[in-house]
């Protein structure tokens, strides 16, 4: 639980990021966007929001903005890592399948 001494924007930012961890966990385990970094980033940006009871609209907006500012460098790093992995991986069907030999 977030300390009550935290400002409301910080509470909203933390709640937004906790929701995001849930999204990431779901994508890692059962997601359909495992290999689509664009779809993943779009999902993250769309879901990075939290409504904390008792927090004003202004503090909610400030907290969501803080959460977005914290997550953007992470998304940029992930995109770069995906590019590196994709560049290093051979294209599909690049190596002949040993089980696909002609019989005659």
Residue-wise pLDDT for 66-104, tens only, equals 888 888 888 888 888 878 877 877 766 766 555 555 555
How much is the average pLDDT of 4-28?
81
Identify the pLDDT of residue 94: 62
Instruction: With respect to residue 97, please indicate whether it lies within any of the assigned structural domains.
Output: no
How much is the average pLDDT of 50-57?
89
Count of structural domains, the chain:
1
Instruction: With respect to residue 2, please indicate whether it lies within any of the assigned structural domains.
Output: no
Instruction: With respect to residue 52, please indicate whether it lies within any of the assigned structural domains.
Output: yes
What percent of the chain is predicted at pLDDT more than 90?
Answer: 8
Token duo for residue 77? 């790093």
Instruction: With respect to residue 15, please indicate whether it lies within any of the assigned structural domains.
Output: yes
Tell me the whole-structure pTM to 2 decimals: 0.65
Instruction: With respect to residue 95, please indicate whether it lies within any of the assigned structural domains.
Output: no
Residue keyed to tokens 């995001």: 20
pLDDT at 35 over 50: yes
- 28: domain range? 8-88
Cα distances (Å, whole numbers) of residue 5 to 2, 8, 10, 55, 60: 8, 9, 10, 14, 16
When pLDDT is cut at 50, 70 and 90, the band that residue 1 belongs to is very low
Q: Is 54 left (phi over 0), alpha (psi -120 to 50) or beta?
A: left
Instruction: With respect to residue 69, please indicate whether it lies within any of the assigned structural domains.
Output: yes
When pLDDT is cut at 50, 70 and 90, the band that residue 58 belongs to is very high
Instruction: With respect to residue 57, please indicate whether it lies within any of the assigned structural domains.
Output: yes
Instruction: With respect to residue 82, please indicate whether it lies within any of the assigned structural domains.
Output: yes
């Amino acid at each position: 639980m977030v300390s009550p001494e935290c400002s409301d924007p910080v509470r909203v930012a933390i709640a937004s990021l906790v929701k995001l961890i849930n999204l990431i966990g779901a994508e890692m385990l059962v997601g359909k966007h495992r290999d689509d970094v664009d779809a993943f980033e779009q999902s993250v940006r769309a879901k990075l929001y939290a409504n904390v009871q008792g927090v004003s609209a202004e503090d909610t907006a400030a907290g969501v903005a803080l959460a977005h500012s914290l997550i953007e460098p992470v998304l940029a790093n992930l995109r770069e890592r995906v590019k590196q992995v994709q560049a290093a991986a051979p294209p599909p069907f690049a190596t002949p399948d040993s089980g696909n030999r002609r019989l005659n």
